[in-house]
Homo-oligomer: A and B are copies of this chain.
Amino acid sequence: MQGLMKSTIGFVGTGRMGANMARRLKERGFPVVALYDARQDSAQSLAEELGATACNTLADITAAAEVVITVVSNDAAQRELFCREGDSLLHGAEGRLFINCATVTPSLHGEIESLSEAAGASSLEACMASSITQAREGTLYLMCGGRQEVYERALPLLRELGTAPRYIGAAGSAAQVKALVNMVMNINTAGLAEGLGLGAALGLDLTMLLEVFSQTGANSRVLQTDGEDMLHRDHACFFSAAHAAKDSGIALGLAVEKGIKVPLALATKFQYDRLVALGLGELDKSAVAELTFPGRQG
């Protein structure tokens, strides 16, 4: 177990989340040695900051690091890492541990586990239900799926990234839970935007309205995190509208597969798809209020 504390670490995906997780581990004394990103300048600049190597190929990451943490943005990107012809993380991967933090379709985690094991490596899904600040501070909410012994091996490292990592079950189960968390969060966000937008249209004092919401059955976590931002159109990105659309889409896929009707999740997906279509997908999820306030978009 303790051995992992000295394992060399590589990161694939050095965007906002991945970069801050790498900074956190470096700061906590882990040897972060190798970085890769499809945008080479992103990996390069972080490599300079952390004294690591920016690799040109995925196989170079696997060669350099015993533990590889992948933080990419969607199914296609995640799949590429393990299945790309000619260059993949699985090249020379014997004994490696892959920790996959992207929010992807749950079944993909099982596929990656199988492929990893066939290559003599291990894999763990570690879904994150928090954002950039938490990544930097090592207080991510981490939900893990995969083999329990792999989870336990990874725990010393997971504990540096998150406050209280949680083992959910087999590979894919954490992604299912994550999809449900984000589905409900997105519904609450889109619903709040409707309440505030309609309040604005009625000419109500919106600060009063937020306060009343917070003291009644309308209260929610997103009211606390996104309410003010909706009023002030402050949509600096913590969790993008495009990611919200993607995650609601994953949940819808599960609902279709299981024959469960989720009309609110569907309406929410449409709202986030509309935002993306309007070119606003890179704004924070709070930007859904742009669709519901009088005189804004839509």
Contacts and interface: CB of A to CB of B under 8 A. Distances in A.
Interface stretch (A8-16, A50-58, A74-82, A290-298): A290-298
A197 interface: yes
A266 interface: yes
Interface in A121-137: 129-130
A198 B264 contact: no
Given A188-B188, A202-B258, A221 B222 contact: no
Interface string A170-211: 000100110011111101101110110111011011001100
A243 to B, nearest CB: 12
B181 A212 contact: yes
B263 A270 contact: yes
Contact of A220 (B168, B188, B197, B270): B188
A205 B233 CA distance: 38
B260 A198 contact: yes
B141 A216 contact: yes
Contacts of A264: 187, 190-191, 194, 264, 267-268, 271
A291 B264 CA distance: 12
Interface string A245-274: 000000100110011111111111011000
Contacts of A262: 194, 197-198, 292
6 contacts: A143-B212, A180-B198, A187-B195, A187-B264, A194-B263, A260-B292
Interface of A: 129-130, 141, 143, 166, 168-169, 173, 176-177, 180-185, 187-188, 190-192, 194-195, 197-199, 201-202, 204-205, 208-209, 212-213, 215-222, 225, 251, 254-255, 258-268, 270-271, 291-292, 294, 298
